[in-house]
Amino acid sequence: MFITDAVGAAADPIADTPERQALREAVRAIVRDVAPPERRLPLDTAEQFDDELHAHLAKLGATSIGAHPEQGGEGNALDQLVVLEELAAGPTSMAVFMVVHYMGIEILSAHGSREQRDTWLAPLSAGDATMSFCLTEAGGGTDIARAMRTTARCDGGGWVIDGEKTWISGATRSDVYVVLARSADVAGSAIDGITMFLVPADTPGITVRELPTVAVHGFDTCQVTFDGVRVADDAVVGEVGRGFRQVLSVLNRERVNAAAGAIGAGRAAVEYAAAYAAERPAFGSTVGSFQAVQHRLVDAMVALEGARGLLARAAHAEVAGGRADILSSMAKLAASEAAVKATTTGMEILGGAGFSLEYPMQQWWRDVRLWVFAPLNNDMVRNHIAEQGFGLPRSF
Ligand SMILES: Cc1cc2nc3c(=O)[nH]c(=O)nc-3n(C[C@H](O)[C@H](O)[C@H](O)COP(=O)(O)OP(=O)(O)OC[C@H]3O[C@@H](n4cnc5c(N)ncnc54)[C@H](O)[C@@H]3O)c2cc1C
């Protein structure tokens, strides 16, 4: 029996209703049946997106959680967390896909026009389309507003976008891109003058190059170039010049969702390592009989459960319409660092088996590192908590 089973579903602050517990069981069953290690690990090695798993998630309704009700959405932040935890406990790349997907769902639900929602949110919500979120550039990730070189020029009845985005998830297979571009220079404000556009992926002038990465191999990471890309006025999402502020309004959700991914993968790593240790013979007993091994497993699980408590508080605050930014930041920080430690513990306990691509540990260990610096690096997250939580002077 694992700690999470021993504690019991009734004490779960995230899957806190019978409906969410049923959702968790449904996603867990899909992962077990469609993406067991013997299927998902070869896909990861081959760097292939799991279309079959995606289709099952769409059929379950997981892709529509959080979408505007007019486009078939239901559920809230807590439902998204349930899905993400369970996916990250198996095919982590699909959890990364869903974090990006939910970001698109949130942006279009909150800021898209009725026409944009009908054209793009409805198929995204149904799982019939996918999107990429194009913000980061080579010149700056954390300080992207100041560094942004991608421009949008108003050109009589439309816009022309020029520039290059990097580290863009899913761009080789997305149907539509949400693109942030500088449309005006505003004195004294780096974040104003940036506009958000919806750009169909087949618009002339777009080229995509896949980037080799160390992890998240089941979901591509790309450079996307925009060379004189023309879009109509109705491609603008929300207000001209306020695109970056619109993104900031959905950042809480991206942070808690990243935290859920980290916790799911970390939990899976600890449970896998505990089960492995219980069976692995050593010195007339098992590896799991040694106190040093037991303590590392317990410390890892306590750190994850602590982060999960923060995560639940952050999500409940958001759902209740209260202030969630500090709690969301704390949850993302605690969860990503706990997941790195938990998966490192997992690798150590598996010994040589940890190095094998035929065991799942290495995938969790590689993939969770993303959430230490994305969507926002943990040093910057600490800066935000110091400023907003303690009222200390801005340090950057
Ligand atoms: C696999 C993957 C998928 C991604 N998907 C997307 C996507 O879909 N869309 C998208 O737009 N972007 C995406 N990104 C980009 C991601 O959001 C950035 O990598 C992230 O924001 C960090 O930016 P950076 O890599 O430029 O790091 P930098 O900004 O160069 O920061 C490097 C380090 O410097 C330190 N640092 C920076 N600023 C400060 C500060 N103020 N105080 C203290 N320390 C600081 C931190 O330690 C930080 O980790 C993805 C990245 C990867 C690797």
- Domain at 132-242: CATH code: 2.40.110.10
The whole-number pLDDT of residue 9 equals: 66
C-alpha distances in Å from residue 243, one per residue of 131, 132, 141: 17, 16, 16
Judged against a pLDDT cut of 70, whether residue 2 lies above it is answered with no
- The architecture in CATH of the region 3-130 reads Orthogonal Bundle (1.10)
CB of residue 139 inside a 6 A radius of ligand 1: no
Give tens-digit pLDDT for 256-273: 999 999 999 999 999 999
CB of residue 258 inside a 6 A radius of ligand 1: no
CATH topology of domain 247-390: Butyryl-CoA Dehydrogenase, subunit A; domain 3 (1.20.140)
Q: How high does pLDDT run on average in the chain?
A: 96
Atom of ligand 1 nearest to the CA of 377: 49
The whole-number pLDDT of residue 7 equals: 73
- Strands 176-182, 158-169: pairing is unpaired
The whole-number pLDDT of residue 251 equals: 87
Q: Where in the chain is the domain with CATH 1.10.540.10?
A: 3-130
The whole-number pLDDT of residue 156 equals: 84
Preceding peptide of 204 cis, ω within 30°: no
Name the residue at shortest CA distance from atom 14 of ligand 1. 167
Name the residue at shortest CA distance from atom 18 of ligand 1. 141
The whole-number pLDDT of residue 253 equals: 92
Quote the Cα angle for 224-104-36, to 5°.
90
Atom of ligand 1 nearest to the CA of 219: 1
**How sure is the predictor about 10, in pLDDT bands with cuts at 50, 70 and 90?**
low
Give residues with Cβ within 8 angstroms of 338, minimum separation 6.
Answer: 262, 263, 266, 300, 303, 304, 306, 307
**How sure is the predictor about 11, in pLDDT bands with cuts at 50, 70 and 90?**
confident
CA–CA separation, 148 and 161 (whole Å): 13
Q: Where in the chain is the domain with CATH 2.40.110.10?
A: 132-242
Q: Where in the chain is the domain with CATH 1.20.140.10?
A: 247-390
Ligand 1: residue of 137, 255, 373, 378 to mutate (most ligand atoms within 8 A of CB) is 373
